[in-house]
Chains A and B, each alone.
Chain A
Amino acid sequence: MGKGKRKVPGINASSTADISFILLIFFLVVTSMNSSMGLNVRLPEPPEDEDLQNPPKIKKRNSLVVLVNMDNKIMITQGEKLPYEIEIGELRQLAKDFITNDANRADYPEKHLEDVVFEERGVEYVLPSGRQQSITSKHVISLQTHRGTNYNTYFEVSNELYGAYNELRDELAKKEYGKSYNNLDENQQMLCRLYYKTMISEAEPRSIGGGM
């Protein structure tokens, strides 16, 4: 009556599920979803006293002033025209027309022939259509607010302005490379960004309008 085989009793694992459930719930509670998205902006350097006394001179045709007033209305001042109000939906197209000045209008930014080129480790990169490009490099979009302006309106206006640059770069990418901007490599994206440089300046808000 030899014991040929002794059966090892299995470990009862039915509670493993409960244990892992508890771990799962613990992690659900103490962690948060990785959902940080946002609009990237670059702040200007802190103002020096000299800058405040002698603000840089900008030609009228080169400047587009977007003022979001305390009633959250968008007022546009451009060139010699009187300020006028527009809706948020019109802003992107207006900004695009202003930045490109395709029609070469006298009241929109002047175009200059400039080298669109950048160098990395001794290699120069240029756009397929050539090194010299006619661009409105001196334009400035000035975004102004009052202290009482609503943040949401300000954000939507910024979103439209940055969106105008993004759309223009995308159009340029399609024209030059036949691909959308997101599918370009880093050097090509850099060239598109040099062609359409973000020129949004945010002045300190006017103190009139009161209140926080």
Chain B
Amino acid sequence: MTEITWPWQYNFPPFFTIQPHAETRAKQLEAWQQLIVEYLKATRQSTVDVRETQNNPLFNNTAINRKLSQEAVLTILEDMARTGRAAPTDKSKNVWEVYWHSLDEWGNMVYNWACSNGLNNSVCTLFELREGENTVDEEFHGLDMNVLLKALKALEIKGKCELMEFDDNQGVKFF
């Protein structure tokens, strides 16, 4: 697990209280979103379970004895959802997918990779994209399956690829 460089806010007690002052709050939420994304990226996670946040070092700074409440976490995640950087996976809003990049960005990233590797009009399996040797240096290597799928679906709508299923595997054909 990578060592995380915490931002200065992490050791600033007011960071763990949602600020009522609008401007301050905006700055605070922004800082949180950055931190969450950084943290997930560093630990290679893409979901946040609100119910499990209380013991997560991300939301619980034991050094200054402050932790972010569940409501506050929810507030931040909902704010992220507005900008398309997170989405709840269930109605009860307990588990959230957090995107290091927006789905569009992911899609473009995959598409660009495919183009630059001359994979147009050919088919790749999703397994190849996530685990293949060719993608080791790419950011989307090891990306959560569901996130990848959503990104590709968004790409499909734009007409840049087509998802297909064969046997028990899923594949994608880039145009």
Partners in one complex: no
* B residues whose Cβ falls under 8 Å from a Cβ of A: none
* A residues whose Cβ falls under 8 Å from a Cβ of B: none
